[in-house]
């Protein structure tokens, strides 16, 4: 899934080139390139589909030149993740009705790829034989407020190649810090990774059961997918299709959902704060995360400094808990707290500063 705009990474992430197409970590590979290469260790390139906004078609082709053009599924409108997944599922049905699917965001950080691939393969092995909808749950390390949480039933364990998955009790979206602390202390909650594994038969059945309007719209294209009429058909489908997430539309309603606890160094890197947590800090004991070629810092602590202009010197003094993000056309300086940043993004929208969105 590669259609999001990554607004919480503004000003680096923009409508014209969002987070999944950026090398924010400075690895030499963008997020979508890393995700593509990761899944090449699981399936051949012919089996990888990218669902993205129509406006990003050129970016996908530029960054993934080996991806088959027919495997780029273009959404004319953003309608959240349930239509995105339905499009891929019903198109895939015409190619292989017995397929299994892994659904993954294109912009997540995975530090332990070997463990990730082992987890995916064991989940696929399970769903080939069982009609379950697996979501990967990440063992939490802190009371994070930017992630969704999954509460699982410890008494209802399910064996997956020697590991234990669990029936899901509840989903909670982005709790406040006090509630997140309660979740962590209870030992019954996992972070919701947004990564899913299931067989095609099961997800189609649950779409038909719980999101019949979406299922009906995409099912009408069985004789159209993979033909020259597909683009026009999808345009009409997305005009009529409701906007709803797969979590709310299916996972919270189905009785087939299970969560598979995993630990492979995961972060959705959805915010500057999550990037700050992941980056190495300076060796001067000031706890600064710096990704800039030239900096001069005086009494700066617990701050994030990012610049994509190699020759530009960043000078800062007497800052505690700030972030400085410098791009070609925007310099943002503000406290690291999420509330302040949300207000900045809200002001951009309210004031219709479209050039900077």
What is the extent of the structural domain holding 302? 282-356
The mean pLDDT of 214-242, rounded to a whole number, is 97
Asked if residue 1 is part of any domain, the answer here is no
- Residue 356 is predicted with a pLDDT of 61
Give residue-wise pLDDT tens across range 268-277: 888 898 899 8
Q: Do 265 and 286 belong to one domain?
A: no
Q: What is the pLDDT of residue 354?
A: 60
Which distant-in-sequence residues (6+ apart) come within 8 Å of 236 by Cβ?
none
pLDDT in tens, 45-89: 999 999 999 999 999 999 999 999 999 999 999 999 999 999 999
CA-CA distances (angstroms) from residue 261 to 53, 167, 188, 226? Answer: 31, 11, 11, 36
148 and 246 inside one domain = yes
- Same domain assignment for residues 242 and 324: no
pLDDT of residue 315: 97
Of 240, 272, 304, the last residue of a domain is 272
In terms of Cα–Cα distance, which of 130, 149, 252 is closest to 198? 130
pLDDT of residue 357: 62
- What CATH code is carried by the domain that includes residue 175? 3.90.550.10
Residue 242's pLDDT is 97
Whether residue 157 has pLDDT greater than 60: yes
Beta strand 313-320 with 294-301 is parallel
Residue 170 pLDDT: 93
Give the count of domains, the chain: 2
Q: 334 and 315 in contact (C-beta within 8 Å)?
A: no
Say if residue 290 is in the same domain as residue 265: no
Same-domain check for residues 137 and 71: yes
Query: Helices in the chain by DSSP H: which ranges?
Result: 31-39, 57-63, 81-95, 113-127, 177-186, 200-210, 212-219, 230-240, 246, 272-278, 338-350
pLDDT band at 337 (very low <50, low <70, confident <90, very high): confident
- Average of per-residue pLDDT across 315-325: 97
Let me know whether 141 and 252 are in one domain.
yes
Answer yes or no: do 143 and 244 share one domain: yes
pLDDT at residue 352, as a whole number: 57
Q: If pLDDT is split at 50, 70 and 90, which confidence band does 285 have?
A: confident
Tell me the C-alpha to C-alpha distance, in Å, between residue 222 and each of 59, 211, 219.
28, 18, 6
Does one domain contain both 241 and 287?
Answer: no
User: pTM higher than 0.85, yes or no?
Assistant: yes
Cis peptide before 11 (omega within 30 of 0): yes
| Whether residues 216 and 300 fall in one domain | no
The verdict on residue 106 lying in a domain is yes
pLDDT at 349 over 80: no
Residue 269 in tokens: 């890197």
Per DSSP, helices labelled H in 113-262 are 113-127, 177-186, 200-210, 212-219, 230-240, 246
Share of the chain above pLDDT 70, in %: 98
Q: Indicate if 110 and 155 belong to the same structural domain.
A: yes
Examine the fold and report which residue of 233, 253, 272 is the final residue of a domain before the chain moves on. Answer: 272
Kindly state whether residues 297 and 268 are assigned to the same domain: no
Name the more confident of 344 and 301: 301
Structural contact between residues 337 and 327, judged by C-beta atoms closer than 8 angstroms: no
Q: Is the pLDDT of residue 355 over 70?
A: no
344 & 225 share domain:
no
For 283-297, the DSSP string reads TTSS--EEE-SEEEE
Of 221, 245, 272, which closes a domain? 272
């Amino acid at each position: 899934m590669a259609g999001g705009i990554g607004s919480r990474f503004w000003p680096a992430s923009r409508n014209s080139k969002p987070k999944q197409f950026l090398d924010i970590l400075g690895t030499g590979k963008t997020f979508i390139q890393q995700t593509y290469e990761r899944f090449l260790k699981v399936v051949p390139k012919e089996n990888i589909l990218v669902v993205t906004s129509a406006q990003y078609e050129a970016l996908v082709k530029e960054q993934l030149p080996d991806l088959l053009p027919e495997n780029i599924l273009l959404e004319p409108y953003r309608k959240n993740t349930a239509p995105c997944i339905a499009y891929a599922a019903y198109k895939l049905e015409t190619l292989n009705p017995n397929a299994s699917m892994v659904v993954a965001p294109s912009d997540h950080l995975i530090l332990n790829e070997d463990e990730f691939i082992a987890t995916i393969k064991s989940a696929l092995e399970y769903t080939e034989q069982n009609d379950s909808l697996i979501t990967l749950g990440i063992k939490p390390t802190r009371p994070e407020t930017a992630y969704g949480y999954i509460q699982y039933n410890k008494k209802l364990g399910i064996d997956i190649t020697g590991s234990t998955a669990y029936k899901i009790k509840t989903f909670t979206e982005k709790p406040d810090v006090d509630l997140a602390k309660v979740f962590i202390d209870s030992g019954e909650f996992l972070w919701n990774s947004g990564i899913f594994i299931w067989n095609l038969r099961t997800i189609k059945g649950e779409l038909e059961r719980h999101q019949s309007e979406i299922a009906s719209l995409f099912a009408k294209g069985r004789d159209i997918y993979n033909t020259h009429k597909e683009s026009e058909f999808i345009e009409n489908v997305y005009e009529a299709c409701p906007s709803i997430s797969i979590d709310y539309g299916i996972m919270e309603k189905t009785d087939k959902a299970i969560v598979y606890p995993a630990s492979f160094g995961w972060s959705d890197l959805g915010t500057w704060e999550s990037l700050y947590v992941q980056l190495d800090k300076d060796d001067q004991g000031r706890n600064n995360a710096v990704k800039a070629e030239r900096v001069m810092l005086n009494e700066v602590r617990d701050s994030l400094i990012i610049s994509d202009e190699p020759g530009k010197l960043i000078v800062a003094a007497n800052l505690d808990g700030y972030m400085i993000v410098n791009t070609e056309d925007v310099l943002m300086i503000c406290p690291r707290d999420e509330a302040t940043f949300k207000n900045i993004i809200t002001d951009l929208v309210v004031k219709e500063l479209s050039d900077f969105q």
